Structure 1
Amino acid sequence: MKEKPWIDVSIPLTNDMGVWPGDKPFNFRLSYTKEQTKSVNIGEMSTSVHTGTHMDAPFHYDNDGKKIHELDVSLFIGPAKVVDVRGHEVIGRKELEAFNLDGVSRLLLRSLDRADSSFPERYPILKEDIGPFLKEKGIHLIGTECPSVDPVDSKHLPAHHALYQNGVYILENLVLKDVKPGLYELIALPLSIHGGDGSPVRAVIREL
């Protein structure tokens, strides 16, 4: 049987992409051209580690939390379930109880249907009760199309902490608008940035 194709569900990194308000924008440029070096082009980039599709390390919101290079890579590879929760301004236990999540360890929320890489003016957030609910279900990773699981102006980050306290890791800024609900294989590996509070991710899925 022919294998299903891999689907890229990450935001391309471009110099005109939207970023978190006040964060360092993404920039790529050639620092040396092939004409200059006589052999190769050499590029360089600068960015916040939370630009585009990215993984949060617990250190992002807890000084005692693990940094990105300390996380087990197996957390980010394996079966995942995509569910459609569009139409909800907040998502928690009540909204997710409508889905069969038995045996699910990674959950991806089609929540926004973002059309481009601009920063969304509004996006749905997660309720604090989602942390205990996901732990009950045995889910250790949640992915969302939104740039954060908390409001853009939040300083206390209740959803981040509720997920962290229940052993759930956070993958943000996915692109799932052309992905139908169902079971998939996920690969969403962060870079091994020593001491990092997060990392850009090239996230791909393949239908199971």
Structure 2
Amino acid sequence: MWKKNQWIDVTMRLTNDLEPWPGDTPFSYQVRLTKDQTGSANIGELTTGVHVGTHLDAPFHYDNAGETIDEIDPSLLIGKALVVDVRGHKKIGRQELERFDLDGVSRILLHSFDRPNSKCFPENYPVLREDIGPFLKEKGVHLIGTDCPSVDPVDSKAMTAHHALYENGVYILENLVLNHVEAGFYQLIALPLAIQGGDGSPVRAVLKSIPVSITKDGH
């Protein structure tokens, strides 16, 4: 029998007052036709940028030759993940992550700051160091998630952290909501929409705590 509340939602809710990345298309949803009008169903429509809220970057976002969102293997976004608490650092890289046991970890989620209001774009947020890419490759990590809107500063043009991760086979999940999640191992599901040719997509990201006894199996 299905049991309620087994999964923890770590997705930023998409609302019409959600502040987007500066200059990006804001999210907007409306009921275009009501059930009274159609006689059968409410019909909604939305407009949005693909990097709104909790989202997955496709390599095509920062590399013209990179995979588009519909080409990414969904299995990369399903499986064991480790949530680590790295709050208090303005930049996060090898030095900040070396203290964690990452043996058998292929997905890591960073709780890097306490965001008081997820609807407002933060003036400052922690970013990733360029040396994080090689370090995660050494450890066998292929997915990194962050509770920040980007792994690079908002004014970055070089996008050094994005490229360092991409060059080392690490995919990027951004804008998670981890304020209510304790550090530890979880099952993660964070599937994007199959947007043909897309450079990214919103995801519905959820976590489920898993027993300590199976946290070293690498799955």
Are residue 206 (structure 1) and residue 208 (structure 2) matched? Answer: yes
Q: Distance in 2 between matches of 1:61 and 1:87?
A: 28
With structure 2 as the length reference, what TM-score do the two structures score? 0.93
Partner of 2:15: 14
Partner of 1:156: 158
Partner of 1:48: 49
Q: Distance in 1 between matches of 2:60 and 2:122?
A: 25
Helix, strand or coil at the partner of 1:204: strand
Cα deviation code 1:115-168 (max 9, x no counterpart): 322111110000000000000000000000000000000000000000000000
Helix, strand or coil at the partner of 1:75: helix
Q: Distance in 2 between matches of 1:114 and 1:77?
A: 25
Paired residues, number? 207
Q: Distance in 1 between matches of 2:166 and 2:59?
A: 7
Are residue 142 (structure 1) and residue 144 (structure 2) matched? Answer: yes
Please show how residues 183-198 of structure 1 align to structure 2 within 5 Å.
Answer: 183-198=185-200
Helix, strand or coil at the partner of 2:6: coil
| TM-superposed deviation, 1:65 | 0.1
Partner of 1:25: 26
With structure 1 as the length reference, what TM-score do the two structures score? 0.98
Amino acid aligned to 2:205: A
Q: Distance in 1 between matches of 2:171 and 2:188?
A: 14
Tell me, which stretches of 5 or more residues in structure 1 are unaligned?
none
Helix, strand or coil at the partner of 1:189: strand
| TM-superposed deviation, 1:35 | 1.1
Q: Distance in 1 between matches of 2:26 and 2:161?
A: 25
Q: Distance in 2 between matches of 1:61 and 1:194?
A: 17
Are residue 72 (structure 1) and residue 73 (structure 2) matched? Answer: yes
Q: Distance in 1 between matches of 2:50 and 2:180?
A: 26
| TM-superposed deviation, 1:39 | 1.0
Tell me, which stretches of 5 or more residues in structure 2 are unaligned?
211-219
Cα deviation code 1:19-44 (max 9, x no counterpart): 10010000000110111111110000
Contact 1:113–1:175 (CA under 8 A) maintained in structure 2: no
Amino acid aligned to 2:14: L
Of the candidates 161, 166, 170, which is equivalent to residue 168 of structure 1?
Answer: 170
Q: Distance in 1 between matches of 2:11 and 2:87?
A: 18
Helix, strand or coil at the partner of 2:95: helix
Partner of 1:95: 96
Q: Distance in 2 between matches of 1:132 and 1:188?
A: 24
Partner of 1:177: 179
Q: Distance in 2 between matches of 1:130 and 1:96?
A: 9
Cα deviation code 1:59-108 (max 9, x no counterpart): 00000000000010000000000000000000000000011111100000
